[in-house]
A = this chain, B = another copy of it.
Amino acid sequence: MIYFDEISLATQGFSDIMDITDEVEKVLKKSGISEGLVTISVPGSTAGVTTIEFEPGLVKDLKEALERIAPANAGSYSHDRTWGDGNGFSHIRAALIGASKSFPVKAKKMMLGTWQQIVLIDFDNRHRRRKVTVQVLGE
C-alpha cells in the first residue's frame, strides 16, 4: 500500500527550523499503515529535512553551525554574482543536509527517539510557502 499527503507550511526562511513531527504522525495515522517506511521530502533546492531535538537552544546552535559551514555572505558565492538573488548559501546548505529522509514504521509508530523530532529547514533568504511530501509505503 502507498499513501501520500502534503504538509503546507509558511516559513521565515534564513534557516527557519520547523518541527513537523506531529503533522507527519497524523499522515501516518490516516494512512492506516502499521509496518513500512515513511519518506518525508521537500521539493525545492533551498530547503531540507533532518531530525534534531527540537528545543530553542539547539535550534540556535544548528543555525550557527550552518553559518560556519556555509556562511550567508552573498559576495562569496558565484551563484549570487551570476543571478543576484543572494541565496547561494541557501542552495549549498540544502545540498549538504538533503531534501528527503526515510524512517521505518513498526506497530504504527515511526522508529524515532523520544527527543528526536523531524524538522523542515527553510534555507532560503525570504519568506516561503512550502509543501512537504509525506509518503507511507507498507501494509
Task: List residues of chain A with CB under 8 Å of any chain B CB.
Answer: 2, 4, 35-37, 39, 41, 43-45, 50-53, 55-58, 60-62, 65, 68-70, 77-83, 88, 91-92, 94-104, 106, 111-113, 115-117, 133, 135, 137-139
Contact = CB atoms under 8 A, between A and B. Distances in A.
A111 B45 contact: no
Number of copies of this protein chain within its complex: 3
Contacts of A83: 55, 57
Nearest to A60: B78
A139 B139 CA distance: 14
A58 B4 contact: no
A43 to B, nearest CB: 4
Contacts of A62: 91-92, 95
Given A52-B91, A55-B82, 6 more contacts: A45-B51, A45-B117, A58-B95, A61-B88, A96-B96, A99-B116
